[in-house]
Amino acid sequence: MEVDAAGLPTGPGVPSAEAGLHARIAAVSGAGAVVHVHALAPVQAAERWPGGVPLRDLEMLKGFGRAAHDDLVTIPVVQNGQDMRVLGDAFERGYRADTPALIVARHGVYVWGDDLRQARHRLECLEWLLRFVVS
């Protein structure tokens, strides 16, 4: 489903309760698109590294917007909850301009980019990276 910058639908359908968090991520990061999936690897990684998931020495980091594979990238992890304002506040506290992703513990992952193509590409790269580190 597609929503605007305020989290309101741009077409038919009803946005999820999380649409406000999507809008907040876009507003803070300047992203043109935010994608969210309930993939297993991010949830597993957050269980192992609840303070943030460290990624380093993997070539796929270049696809995640890094110039070198040996950069240390730490994906922020926030605790899950039903209040999107609380989740948004946690996102802002952990936000890193050079890390376009956020894992919500025991829930899923948000990834963003300049447009939907870039956000999806980054999501694909991040899912690969996280599958690797939890395997």
Chain centroid to CA 107: how far? 11
Annotation marks residue 127 as catalytic: no
DSSP string, the chain: --B-TTS-BSSSS---TTHHHHHHHHHHH--SEEEEE--HHHHHHHHH-TT-EEE-S-GGGGGGT-S-TT--EEE-EE---S-HHHHHHHHHHH--TT--EEEETTTEEEEEESSHHHHHHHHHHHHHHHHHHH-
Nearest to 52 by CA among 34, 21, 76, 88: 76
- Select which of 2, 18, 47, 59 is catalytic: 59
Q: Which residues are known catalytic residues? A: 59
